[in-house]
Amino acid sequence: MQETGRRYLLGTAKSELKRFAHEIADARDWQTVREGVEVKLCRGPAGSETFLLCRSADRREKERAMHARFAQRIEQRLESLAGRLAKARRPLAREPIERQIGRILGQNSRAAGRYQIRLVDDPACDSKLRLAWSVRAEWDEWASYSEGTYILRTNIAQWTPEALWRTYIQLTEAEAAFRIHKSDLSIRPIWHQKAERVQAHILVCFLAYVLWKTLEQWQVRAGLGNSPRTILEDIGRIQSTDVVLPLADDPDRELRIRCVVRPDRAQALLLDRLGLTLPDRLRVPSRIDEM
């Protein structure tokens, strides 16, 4: 977030959490601002800034699953590397193995700090090397406290924790709106030259965004999350096709019927949750009727 005037409210880096390890672990003074979201107010050391610790249950589950996935990848690759060292029939150089360990941790950096890895000299093995690794208990302990937690930083001292959190969410929603306009709704680039056509292009994008937010609320009420992009992708695969038949009494004329392809099981469940019913046929535009 960017500073607005003399006031600012912005998110901080994940690394800043360590500064508030004691406050995060302390179960006191947390207050609920929304179902699944808790916040705690902390004053900065200099007194000029306020930090708001935020803890989200949904975000905790997401980060926990992500850590478990990366940890599983690391362990699988370490076990594979350890097996190769044990099966080697000749001495191996240490440096390439260390670089390989570095690549494993670099590709799975979210859980890299969980492991303590050593490449041990072992004369009993043909490779002369043995891989030894263990899990850092303190990493797991810190992850259990910090997963799903983030920090907001502001110089506004008069607002309540709930007001600070809700204002920040509004800012993130505004940024998300700009991203949707630029990516999904293609507000840029604008190829028009005349001012009225540029304004019309922006108006169409704005109306499309209104429909986007309407679909999002519709989706939330149906218990389908809050990502209209997935809904549009699934429904976008439902197509229509024209069936063209010659008339028996007049071969020069054709009967054109526009039919809707039947949705698959997943699409049918989605439409049912949204309360939508597909027609068997679509009305053919009049310009096609005249052809």
Q: Is the pLDDT of residue 4 over 60?
A: no
pLDDT at 3: 43
**Among 64-73, 205-214, 240-249, the range of highest mean pLDDT:** 64-73
3-class DSSP state of 189: coil
Q: Is the pLDDT of residue 234 over 70?
A: yes
Q: Assign residue 128 a region (left: φ > 0; alpha: ψ between -120 and 50; beta: otherwise).
A: left
Q: Which amino acid is at 100?
A: Q
pLDDT at 239: 86
Here the tokens at position 163 are 């007001």
Q: Is the pLDDT of residue 5 over 80?
A: no
Cβ atoms of residues 146 and 18 within 8 Å:
no
Question: In 145-228, which ranges are E strands?
Answer: 149-154
pLDDT digits (tens, 9 = 90+) for 123-138: 999 999 999 999 999 9
List of residues 6+ apart from 181 with CB closer than 8 A:
187, 205, 209
pLDDT at 176: 83
DSSP letter for 284, please: P
Cβ atoms of residues 120 and 19 within 8 Å:
no
281: which strand partners? 259
Cβ atoms of residues 155 and 15 within 8 Å:
no
3-class DSSP state of 210: helix
Average pLDDT, the chain: 87
- Phi, psi angle pair for 100, to nearest 5°: -65, -40
Q: Where are the domains of the chain?
A: 1-158, 184-234, 237-289
Report the C-alpha gap between 209 and 267 in whole angstroms: 23
Report the C-alpha gap between 55 and 35 in whole angstroms: 11
pTM of the predicted structure, to 2 decimals: 0.65
pLDDT at 103: 96
Strand 9-11 and strand 115-121: pairing? Answer: unpaired
pLDDT digits (tens, 9 = 90+) for 95-124: 999 999 999 999 999 999 999 999 999 999
